[in-house]
Protein backbone atom coordinates (compact mmCIF):
# COMPACT_ATOMS: atom_id res chain seq x y z
CA UNK A 1 0.00 0.00 0.00
CA UNK A 2 1.47 3.32 -1.12
CA UNK A 3 0.94 6.27 1.24
CA UNK A 4 1.49 9.95 0.57
CA UNK A 5 1.87 11.96 3.78
CA UNK A 6 1.30 15.71 4.10
CA UNK A 7 0.53 18.06 6.97
CA UNK A 8 0.40 21.75 7.93
CA UNK A 9 -0.50 23.07 4.51
CA UNK A 10 -2.28 26.11 6.02
CA UNK A 11 -4.41 26.88 2.94
CA UNK A 12 -1.44 26.39 0.61
CA UNK A 13 -2.74 22.99 -0.54
CA UNK A 14 -3.28 24.17 -4.12
CA UNK A 15 0.46 24.74 -4.45
CA UNK A 16 1.07 21.00 -4.04
CA UNK A 17 1.45 18.59 -6.94
CA UNK A 18 0.98 15.09 -5.55
CA UNK A 19 1.94 11.83 -7.28
CA UNK A 20 -1.25 9.84 -6.63
CA UNK A 21 -1.38 6.46 -4.94
CA UNK A 22 -3.45 4.34 -2.62
CA UNK A 23 -3.89 6.54 0.47
CA UNK A 24 -3.33 10.27 0.98
CA UNK A 25 -2.92 11.24 4.64
CA UNK A 26 -3.22 14.82 5.92
CA UNK A 27 -2.15 15.17 9.56
CA UNK A 28 -3.95 18.42 10.28
CA UNK A 29 -3.64 22.21 10.03
CA UNK A 30 -5.08 22.62 6.56
CA UNK A 31 -6.64 25.90 7.79
CA UNK A 32 -5.11 29.11 9.18
CA UNK A 33 -7.36 30.87 11.68
CA UNK A 34 -9.75 27.93 11.69
CA UNK A 35 -12.87 30.10 11.50
CA UNK A 36 -13.36 30.71 7.76
CA UNK A 37 -16.15 28.46 6.49
CA UNK A 38 -15.06 28.77 2.86
CA UNK A 39 -11.63 27.39 3.71
CA UNK A 40 -13.04 23.95 4.53
CA UNK A 41 -15.06 23.83 1.30
CA UNK A 42 -12.01 24.86 -0.73
CA UNK A 43 -9.88 22.20 0.93
CA UNK A 44 -12.57 19.56 0.32
CA UNK A 45 -12.81 20.58 -3.33
CA UNK A 46 -9.05 20.23 -3.78
CA UNK A 47 -8.95 16.97 -1.82
CA UNK A 48 -11.68 15.42 -3.97
CA UNK A 49 -9.59 16.06 -7.08
CA UNK A 50 -6.53 14.18 -5.79
CA UNK A 51 -5.80 10.82 -7.41
CA UNK A 52 -6.02 8.51 -4.40
CA UNK A 53 -8.36 5.65 -3.59
CA UNK A 54 -8.65 6.91 -0.01
CA UNK A 55 -7.93 10.28 1.62
CA UNK A 56 -7.58 10.29 5.40
CA UNK A 57 -7.78 13.63 7.22
CA UNK A 58 -7.43 14.65 10.85
CA UNK A 59 -7.70 18.15 12.29
CA UNK A 60 -4.91 20.15 13.91
CA UNK A 61 -4.74 23.00 16.37
CA UNK A 62 -5.41 25.57 13.62
CA UNK A 63 -8.57 23.75 12.47
CA UNK A 64 -10.67 25.29 15.25
CA UNK A 65 -14.07 24.80 13.65
CA UNK A 66 -13.69 21.02 13.88
CA UNK A 67 -13.71 21.39 17.66
CA UNK A 68 -16.26 24.14 18.38
CA UNK A 69 -18.65 23.51 15.45
CA UNK A 70 -17.82 20.00 14.35
CA UNK A 71 -21.21 19.24 12.80
CA UNK A 72 -20.95 22.08 10.28
CA UNK A 73 -17.24 21.49 9.72
CA UNK A 74 -17.85 17.85 8.82
CA UNK A 75 -20.76 18.83 6.60
CA UNK A 76 -18.50 21.18 4.67
CA UNK A 77 -15.75 18.57 4.40
CA UNK A 78 -18.35 16.25 2.87
CA UNK A 79 -19.87 18.95 0.67
CA UNK A 80 -18.68 17.29 -2.56
CA UNK A 81 -20.03 13.87 -1.63
CA UNK A 82 -16.62 12.22 -1.99
CA UNK A 83 -16.82 8.87 -0.20
CA UNK A 84 -13.05 8.47 -0.47
CA UNK A 85 -12.53 11.24 2.16
CA UNK A 86 -12.31 9.77 5.66
CA UNK A 87 -12.16 12.08 8.69
CA UNK A 88 -10.74 10.54 11.85
CA UNK A 89 -11.08 12.02 15.32
CA UNK A 90 -10.18 9.55 18.05
CA UNK A 91 -11.42 6.89 15.66
CA UNK A 92 -10.15 4.21 13.30
CA UNK A 93 -10.63 2.79 9.84
CA UNK A 94 -9.37 -0.45 8.30
CA UNK A 95 -8.27 -0.32 4.65
CA UNK A 96 -7.20 -3.53 2.96
CA UNK A 97 -6.35 -5.06 6.31
CA UNK A 98 -4.34 -2.05 7.56
CA UNK A 99 -5.74 -0.31 10.65
CA UNK A 100 -5.41 3.49 10.75
CA UNK A 101 -6.19 5.54 13.87
CA UNK A 102 -6.30 9.33 13.91
CA UNK A 103 -6.41 11.97 16.64
CA UNK A 104 -5.99 15.79 16.53
CA UNK A 105 -4.90 16.50 20.13
CA UNK A 106 -1.67 18.25 21.16
CA UNK A 107 -0.34 19.72 24.41
CA UNK A 108 -1.95 23.10 25.10
CA UNK A 109 -0.42 25.88 22.99
CA UNK A 110 -1.50 29.53 23.03
CA UNK A 111 -5.22 28.79 23.27
CA UNK A 112 -5.51 26.92 19.97
CA UNK A 113 -7.85 23.98 19.35
CA UNK A 114 -7.71 20.37 20.57
CA UNK A 115 -5.55 21.23 23.57
CA UNK A 116 -4.45 18.74 26.21
CA UNK A 117 -3.98 20.78 29.38
CA UNK A 118 -2.43 18.22 31.71
CA UNK A 119 -0.49 14.97 31.74
CA UNK A 120 -3.61 13.25 33.06
CA UNK A 121 -5.61 14.44 30.05
CA UNK A 122 -2.84 13.25 27.71
CA UNK A 123 -2.63 9.81 29.29
CA UNK A 124 -6.41 9.39 29.14
CA UNK A 125 -6.57 10.48 25.49
CA UNK A 126 -3.72 8.30 24.25
CA UNK A 127 -4.95 5.25 26.16
CA UNK A 128 -7.74 5.11 23.55
CA UNK A 129 -5.29 4.22 20.77
CA UNK A 130 -5.93 0.56 19.90
CA UNK A 131 -3.16 -1.87 20.75
CA UNK A 132 -3.27 -3.34 17.25
CA UNK A 133 -3.10 -0.12 15.21
CA UNK A 134 -0.80 -0.27 12.19
CA UNK A 135 -0.69 3.42 11.22
CA UNK A 136 -1.13 6.06 13.92
CA UNK A 137 -1.92 9.59 12.73
CA UNK A 138 -1.72 12.47 15.20
CA UNK A 139 -1.32 16.16 14.61
CA UNK A 140 1.55 16.57 17.06
CA UNK A 141 4.69 14.47 17.40
CA UNK A 142 5.68 12.23 20.26
CA UNK A 143 8.32 13.60 22.61
CA UNK A 144 11.80 13.07 21.20
CA UNK A 145 10.61 12.06 17.74
CA UNK A 146 10.79 14.82 15.11
CA UNK A 147 9.62 17.42 17.64
CA UNK A 148 12.62 19.72 17.91
CA UNK A 149 12.13 23.43 17.20
CA UNK A 150 14.79 25.77 15.83
CA UNK A 151 13.75 28.80 17.85
CA UNK A 152 12.09 29.15 21.30
CA UNK A 153 8.32 29.56 21.24
CA UNK A 154 8.69 32.54 23.59
CA UNK A 155 11.40 34.59 25.28
CA UNK A 156 10.59 32.81 28.55
CA UNK A 157 10.94 29.29 27.14
CA UNK A 158 14.04 27.13 26.86
CA UNK A 159 12.22 24.08 25.50
CA UNK A 160 13.69 22.47 22.40
CA UNK A 161 11.37 19.45 22.18
CA UNK A 162 7.62 20.09 22.04
CA UNK A 163 6.33 16.54 21.60
CA UNK A 164 3.92 14.78 23.93
CA UNK A 165 5.61 12.50 26.49
CA UNK A 166 2.46 10.47 27.16
CA UNK A 167 2.06 9.88 23.42
CA UNK A 168 5.67 8.69 23.20
CA UNK A 169 5.09 6.25 26.04
CA UNK A 170 1.97 4.87 24.38
CA UNK A 171 3.72 4.44 21.04
CA UNK A 172 6.67 2.70 22.66
CA UNK A 173 4.21 0.36 24.38
CA UNK A 174 2.07 -0.65 21.37
CA UNK A 175 4.68 -0.27 18.57
CA UNK A 176 2.61 0.68 15.53
CA UNK A 177 4.38 0.23 12.22
CA UNK A 178 4.09 3.91 11.37
CA UNK A 179 3.39 7.17 13.22
CA UNK A 180 2.55 10.16 11.01
CA UNK A 181 2.33 13.68 12.43
CA UNK A 182 3.06 17.35 11.70
CA UNK A 183 2.69 20.48 13.86
CA UNK A 184 6.43 21.18 14.34
CA UNK A 185 7.25 22.64 10.93
CA UNK A 186 11.02 22.66 11.41
CA UNK A 187 11.17 18.92 12.17
CA UNK A 188 9.85 17.52 8.88
CA UNK A 189 11.40 14.20 7.93
CA UNK A 190 11.57 10.48 8.69
CA UNK A 191 12.96 8.82 11.84
CA UNK A 192 13.19 5.08 12.42
CA UNK A 193 13.02 5.24 16.22
CA UNK A 194 16.63 4.17 16.73
CA UNK A 195 16.01 0.53 15.87
CA UNK A 196 12.53 0.36 17.36
CA UNK A 197 9.57 -1.10 15.49
CA UNK A 198 7.86 2.23 14.73
CA UNK A 199 8.90 4.56 11.92
CA UNK A 200 8.03 8.21 12.62
CA UNK A 201 7.14 10.68 9.85
CA UNK A 202 6.72 14.41 10.39
CA UNK A 203 4.95 15.39 7.17
CA UNK A 204 4.84 19.18 7.67
CA UNK A 205 4.80 20.83 4.26
CA UNK A 206 5.65 24.38 5.31
CA UNK A 207 8.70 25.63 7.15
CA UNK A 208 8.62 27.82 10.23
CA UNK A 209 8.22 30.81 7.90
CA UNK A 210 5.06 29.17 6.45
CA UNK A 211 6.71 28.89 3.03
CA UNK A 212 7.42 25.82 0.93
CA UNK A 213 10.96 24.69 0.28
CA UNK A 214 12.16 22.15 -2.26
CA UNK A 215 12.28 19.27 0.22
CA UNK A 216 8.91 19.93 1.84
CA UNK A 217 6.37 18.83 -0.73
CA UNK A 218 5.27 15.44 0.58
CA UNK A 219 6.63 12.17 1.97
CA UNK A 220 5.85 8.80 0.37
CA UNK A 221 5.92 5.51 2.25
CA UNK A 222 5.00 1.92 1.48
CA UNK A 223 3.36 -0.25 4.10
Here the CATH number for the domain that contains residue 131 is 3.60.21.10
Q: Which of 1, 209, 213, 197 is nearest to 97 (CA)?
A: 1
N- to C-terminal Cα separation, the chain? 5
- How many whole angstroms from its chain centre is CA 63? 11
Range of the domain at 54: 2-222
List the Cα angle 194/196/202 in 5-degree steps: 70
d(C-alpha 24, C-alpha 186), whole Å: 22
Any alpha helices (H) in 70-164, and if so which ranges? 70-77, 119-126
Length of the chain: 223
The ranges of the chain with pLDDT < 70 are 151-158, 193-196, 213-216
Burial of 7 by CB count in 10 Å (0-12 exposed, 13-18 middle, 19+ buried)? buried
Q: What's the domain count of the chain?
A: 1
Instruction: Summarize pLDDT for 134-149 with one digit per residue, the tens.
Output: 999 999 999 999 999 8
The reported pLDDT for the residue numbered 101 is: 98
Amino acid sequence: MKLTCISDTHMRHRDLVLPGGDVLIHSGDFMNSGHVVGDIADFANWLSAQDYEYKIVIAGNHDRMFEYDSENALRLLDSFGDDSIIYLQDSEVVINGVKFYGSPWTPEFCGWAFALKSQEESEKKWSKIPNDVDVLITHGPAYGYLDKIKYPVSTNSTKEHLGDKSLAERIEHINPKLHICGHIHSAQGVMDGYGEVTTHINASCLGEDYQYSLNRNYIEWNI
